[in-house]
Structure 1
Amino acid sequence: MRYREFDELVDEVFGPAYGRALVREQVLPRLDNRTPAEALEAGLEPRDVWHALCDALDVPDALRWGSDHRRQAPPPR
């Protein structure tokens, strides 16, 4: 996932205003108590940050990838 794709998904799944607020302000324990913005600035992969944000907010798998059918869920770990 690229940074641009992360931003697109944030806007699509959470809405532009709320999504941007979440990225700036939502502290996530899974990201060492950083916000998504801080985690991205620290060099974490956008995909990992996206999953941490979605997990914290209980976003179902079916909604995580927005309406673009070319996006795919990550392979099972």
Structure 2
Amino acid sequence: MRLTDFWDRMNRHFGEAYAESWARDFVIAELGGRTVMQALAEGESAKTVWRAVCRVADVDPKLH
């Protein structure tokens, strides 16, 4: 998954105004207690991060 696709999905699920804030502030245990931003900055794949987001944020299956 490309990073642009990841952010498109984040924006579609959370809304453009909230997606970045959520990614910066919400800690996900599955990502080693990191936020989305931290995990991506530390080299975690966008696909792995997106899957973790889907599990904790009740993402619409159409966006999986």
TM-score by length of 1: 0.76
Q: Which structure is higher in strand share?
A: 2
Counterpart for residue 72 of structure 1:
none
Deviation at 1:36, TM superposition (A): 0.3
Counterpart for residue 14 of structure 2:
14
Counterpart for residue 27 of structure 1:
27
Question: Paired residues, what number?
Answer: 64
Of the two, which has the highest radius of gyration?
1
Segments of structure 1 that go 5 or more residues without pairing to the other structure are 66-77
Structure 1's consecutive aligned runs of 4 or more residues displaced over 6 angstroms after TM superposition are: none
Specify the code of the residue in structure 2 equivalent to 1:44: E
Q: Which structure is higher in helix share?
A: 2
The share of aligned pairs that are identical, in percent, is 33
RMSD over equivalenced CA pairs, Å: 1.1
Segments of structure 2 that go 5 or more residues without pairing to the other structure are none
Q: Determine which structure has greater relative contact order: mean sequence separation of CA pairs < 8 Å that are 6+ residues apart, divided by chain length.
A: 2
TM-score by length of 2: 0.89
Task: Output aligned runs, 1:1-77, within 5 Å.
Answer: 1-62=1-62, 64-65=63-64
- Give, in whole Å, the separation in 1 of the partners of 2:17 and 2:35: 16
